[in-house]
Amino acid sequence: MGVIRDHQAAGHRRHIAVFTFPAYAHVAPAVPMLAELVRRGHRVTCLVAERFADMVRDAGMRAVVYPSTFPWYTGPTDSPLRTMLDFFEESLAPLATAVTTFADDRPDLVAHDLAASETARLLARSWGAPVVQLCPTIASSPTFSMSQRQSREAFEPPQEDIAPDDPLIAEFVTRRDAALAAAGLTGVSIDGFGAERGPNIVFLPRAFQIAPETFDARFTFIGPCFTDTEPTGAWRPPADGRQVVLLSLGSSYSPDQGAYLRRCVEALADSPWHVVATLGHRVSPEELGPLPRNVEAHQWLRHPEVLPYAAVFITHGGLGSLMESLWFGVPMVFVPYHVDQRVIASQAADLDLGRVLHRDATTPAALRAALDEVASNPRIASAVARMRHHVHEAGGAPRGADAIEALMRHQTQRPPEMTHA
């Protein structure tokens, strides 16, 4: 007989509530870890927007759909105030659904994405349940702020100052207070409770984290949670022996996505590279126009089909794409758009994992030169190999599940002793 885990031996089938943010890059990183908890015998109830319900169900979890309000398809507006309120509104959107869902089935632990914290932390505080933050990007410590670093990466200052007496804020506060009152949460304070004081699970290796020396045992760096990295043969490298470059701008919204992909295709037309472009749901093949002989485009294609054969990955700099590339030891050319992508790309370049191009300044010559350098620079190759080792050794889904089980065993708001990575 195999070793029986202590929660199974003790007959403890724990219940975990998970609050997600409605973006693929926020939901997907955690799913394999949550599926590992299901495999170990725990129940996982996941509050999700409708479009992620099947992903959650397929992993063995219970999906509870809440009325998401975030403008995920068009992206945030140009108004800093409207964008801030969109995030606040989304963080409270699951409240009524969660209160009903867990009325007679209180969870033993609450986990929440870093962009979906208010409802989760309010309910965890009212239930006296431990809470853990799931961080799918570069984390913030007591002395390092990802938000401040993102502000430094902004190309332009905000177009407007946020006035505290703006009517939109007053309207939001009125809606929030009514929602809290309806949920019986008036007076529940989350000051000093949750992410800034409690445990965090971070889906990257410590070696990639900015200012890693500022993170203590409250932060467990488990790296990416990949469960499906083997190619299936759905894609084959070109028979002519050309070096392969994978081109993808991810699933997050950017207004120039189709146009920029087309510029890259035109820049690499008839070059020595064989280009494999993946488009996702936001760009149609027609937007790229007629394709050169050395370029192929796919609406959907798993990156693990291509990355084992790729010499370079041209990427927007999303952390999921970055970790996927490092898993296979592929250096990158970064073409970020959003401020979080700029921070990630800048950190990767500082670590010699690739080079960064600004989208507005991507001439054909600059793109070809960046590809040639990244593919041939021995310093970059060595740095990518070292980081690949860290990615593979971080622990992934099993280590994340171990950390959550340790927290549930403590059944306290104090963080468990999580080891450094």
Residue pLDDT, tens place only, 319-363: 999 999 999 999 999 999 989 999 999 999 999 999 999 998 889
pLDDT digits (tens, 9 = 90+) for 198-236: 799 999 999 999 999 999 999 999 999 998 899 999 999
Q: What backbone phi and psi angles, to 5 degrees, belong to 245?
A: -120, 125
CA 195, CA 121: separation in Å to the nearest integer?
9
Is 310 in contact with 226 (CB distance < 8 Å)? no
Going by pLDDT thresholds of 50, 70 and 90, the confidence category of residue 192 is low
Render pLDDT for 117-174 as a digit per residue (tens, 0 to 9).
889 999 999 999 999 999 999 999 988 999 889 888 775 555 556 677 778 888 888 8
Please, where in the chain does CATH 3.40.50.2000 lie?
6-223+394-410, 243-393
Round to whole Å and give the CA distance between 160 and 283. Answer: 31
Q: Which of 277, 280, 281 is nearest to 263 (CA)?
A: 277
Confidence at residue 196, expressed as pLDDT on a 0 to 100 scale: 59
Looking at 3.40.50.2000, 3.40.50.12280, 3.90.79.10, 3.40.980.10, the CATH number of the domain 6-223+394-410 comes to: 3.40.50.2000
Cα–Cα distance for residue pair 64/61, rounded to 1 Å = 10
Q: What pLDDT is stored for residue 216 in this prediction?
A: 93
pTM above 0.75, yes or no: yes
Strand ranges for 97-187 from DSSP E = 109-113, 131-135
Q: In what order do the strands lie in the sheet with 310-315?
A: 295-298, 273-278, 243-248, 310-315, 332-334, 354-356
Beta-carbon-side half-sphere exposure of residue 115 (alpha carbons within 13 Å): 22
- Choice between 241 and 65, residue whose per-residue pLDDT is larger: 65
Q: What is the pLDDT of residue 413?
A: 40
231 CB contacts (<8 Å, ≥6 apart)? Answer: 302, 304, 305, 308
Q: Binning pLDDT at 50, 70 and 90, where does residue 254 land? A: confident
Displacement of CA 368 from its chain's centroid (Å): 29
Band the pLDDT of 181: cuts 50, 70, 90: confident
Which residue's entry shows tokens 């699933």? 251
Class of domain 243-393: alpha beta
CB 248 within 8 A of CB 278: yes
Higher pLDDT, 183 or 29: 29
- Across the range 389-405, mean pLDDT stands at 97
Q: Which residues pair with 109 in a beta bridge?
A: 16
